[in-house]
């Protein structure tokens, strides 16, 4: 897995790809760890963008 995934703060559900706005699929959920993020993959097979989603926590 790439070490340089970009992190996006998400407040809207469902999560959309930041590149093409397609729905994304949850690859790995670290929401219950100190990392507090999820790895999401774009469902658009021409895009397949992989990114980290973090919820907008106060």
C-alpha 29/C-alpha 39 separation (Å) is 6
CB of 28 to Zn ion, least distance (A): 18
CB of 23 to Zn ion, least distance (A): 9
C-alpha 53/C-alpha 33 separation (Å) is 14
> For residues 46 and 58, which CB has a smaller minimum distance to Zn ion in the complex?
46
Helix residue ranges per DSSP H, the chain = none
Q: What are phi and psi of 17, to 5 degrees?
A: -60, 130
Residues within the interface to Zn ion (CB under 5 A): 17, 19-20, 22, 42, 44, 47, 49
CB of 32 to Zn ion, least distance (A): 26
């Amino acid at each position: 897995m790439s070490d340089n995934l970009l992190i996006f703060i998400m407040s809207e559900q469902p999560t959309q790809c930041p590149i093409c706005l397609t729905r994304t699929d949850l690859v790995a959920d670290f929401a219950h760890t100190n990392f507090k993020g999820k790895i999401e993959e774009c469902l658009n097979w021409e895009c397949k963008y992989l990114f980290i989603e973090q919820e907008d926590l106060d």
